[in-house]
Amino acid sequence: MDAFATIDDLETLTGRTFESGQTAQVEGLLESASTYLRSVAGQQVYPQQTVTYTDWPTAGRLDLPQFPVVEVVSVMRDGVPVDYTYRPGYITVAGDDPVDVTYTYGYAEAPARLKDLTCVLVSSALLTIEAELGLTAGGISSVGIDDFKLAFADGGVQSGMVLPPIQEAQVRAEFGRGGFALVETGR
């Protein structure tokens, strides 16, 4: 599982114990919340991975598309090692011909902030599931019983597994990298 949080984390934070019949549902929600947080950050973040990225440097500079970079393993051009200089987030090489950069990025352990936010998102989803309202009731202002009706104060803008805009901005600032998306190999 590549979720930022585990069922144990969720149980600890919520003070709940989930029955074995709920395990698959809760694990699915943890995965969904983590996928959402990765999309907010704009990159993989966790777990740590080693990939090869191929691209053309511009004036000798090649930005690496994932953050944080743990290690640059090798830089090759046509199968031959190339001298390079690493600076946070990019390398520099001689020339502008394409290079293959093998590097390791991401966190070895899920960052605590992302673990906590995953649990918050799942906890919110569980409230609506247990109230038999589906996966979300974001922005709901009232629920009627007779001739059942739901009213949304914000037109449902906060429906789904979403964070308020200020928290999304904080996740992007702390774990994002200028809108880069996960790229394992280039051109």
Q: What Å distances lie between residue 101 and 43, 52, 54, 97, CA to CA?
A: 18, 5, 6, 13
Q: Which of 37-46, 76-85, 99-108 has the lowest mean pLDDT?
A: 37-46
pLDDT of residue 186: 37
Return the percent helix, strand and coil in the chain, to nearest 5: 30, 25, 45
Distance of CA 118 to the CA centre of its chain: 10
Q: Which of 51-60, 88-97, 149-158 has the lowest mean pLDDT?
A: 149-158
- Chain position carrying tokens 């979720």: 3
Distance CA 147, CA 81 (A): 71
pTM score of the predicted model = 0.78
Tell me the CA end-to-end span of the chain in Å, nearest whole number.
Answer: 30
* Mean pLDDT calculated for residue range 43-49: 92
For residue 66, what are its two tokens?
Answer: 């994932």
Query: Which residues fall within 8 angstroms of residue 134, CB to CB, at 6 or more apart?
Result: 128
pLDDT of residue 183: 39
pLDDT of residue 27: 96
Distance CA 76, CA 165 (A): 41
* Mean pLDDT calculated for residue range 59-63: 96
Residue 67, burial from CB neighbour count under 10 angstroms (0-12, 13-18, 19+): buried
β-pairing verdict for 61-63 and 90-93 = antiparallel
More confident residue, 157 or 21: 21
pLDDT of residue 179: 42
Q: How many Cβ atoms sit within 10 Å of the Cβ of residue 179? A: 8
What is the residue extent of each domain of the chain?
A: 7-44+109-175, 49-105
What φ, ψ does residue 115 adopt, rounded to 5°?
A: -65, -45
Q: Which amino acid is at 32?
A: S
Distance CA 60, CA 112 (A): 36
What band does 187 get if pLDDT is binned at 50, 70 and 90?
very low
pLDDT of residue 160: 62
Q: What percent of the chain has pLDDT over 90?
A: 60
**How do residues 2-39 score in pLDDT, each as one tens digit?**
999 999 999 999 999 999 989 999 999 999 999 999 99
**How do residues 164-183 score in pLDDT, each as one tens digit?**
889 899 999 899 864 443 33
**How do residues 104-149 score in pLDDT, each as one tens digit?**
999 999 999 999 999 999 988 887 766 666 665 555 656 666 666 6
